[in-house]
Chain A
Amino acid sequence: GESVGLHLPTLSVQEGDNSIINCAYSNSASDYFIWYKQESGKGPQFIIDIRSNMDKRQGQRVTVLLNKTVKHLSLQIAATQPGDSAVYFCAEINQAGTALIFGKGTTLSVSS
């Protein structure tokens, strides 16, 4: 079946630290993955995406790593800031190729 999950429901870090949020997916046929950030009471916002023909992609302060061998995805946030506090979801395209399937989310808390 299709399922995407995250290893840890919560992650607490100090301001300035690097954060790593992990995700495991089960559909080996998935070829597109996205990380979303959701702040309280708002809809998810796109952070960064990666296709299966890549193993790393970098954005501004964020890096996504894809390990297809073990079906693992991670989001690295450099120099984490209080404004990064939110719930982070990974998502993959479903088998029909028509919809994103989300994992359960990791709540990132950044303390000053």
Chain B
Amino acid sequence: SQTIHQWPATLVQPVGSPLSLECTVEGTSNPNLYWYRQAAGRGLQLLFYSVGIGQISSEVPQNLSASRPQDRQFILSSKKLLLSDSGFYLCAWSVRGEAFFGQGTRLTVV
């Protein structure tokens, strides 16, 4: 069966510090991978998606970047965090449309 691992579950980082969130998928090959952000009380905003290794599409301009060094690994990064980067970050994978989500990372920038 397919599983998705996302870590850490919670993270508190100071403004200006770097960020690296990692997501890995097991049990499937060549999935589409996604990073979403959910601000408190808001919907899910698509940040990045990837249809293959090294292929990253950005949906909104922001202080974040994404990379896919391996088929089932997706990384969300920032060189310098802003207060507005706080939120709930979700990694997801899909094959043939439906998306399956990780448990999310609660990021608080202080």
Q: Please, how many angstroms separate the alpha-carbon atoms of A44 and B100 in the complex?
A: 8
Q: 1/0 per residue A27-57: CB within 8 Å of B?
A: 0000010100000011111100100000000
Q: 1/0 per residue A46-88: CB within 8 Å of B?
A: 1001000000000000000000000000000000000000000
Whether the pair B43, A104 counts as a contact (CB closer than 8 A) is yes
Interface residues of B in 77-110 (CB under 8 A from A): 90, 92, 94, 97-104, 106
Name the one of A96, A99, A104 contacting B42, with C-beta atoms under 8 angstroms: A104
**Does B36 sit at the interface, judged by CB under 8 A?**
yes
Whether the pair A102, B32 counts as a contact (CB closer than 8 A) is no
Shortest beta-carbon distance from B92 to chain A in Å: 8
Shortest beta-carbon distance from B12 to chain A in Å: 16
13 sample A-B contacts, Cβ–Cβ < 8 Å, listed by A number:
A34-B97, A41-B106, A42-B103, A43-B90, A43-B101, A44-B101, A46-B98, A46-B99, A98-B57, A99-B34, A100-B94, A101-B46, A103-B43
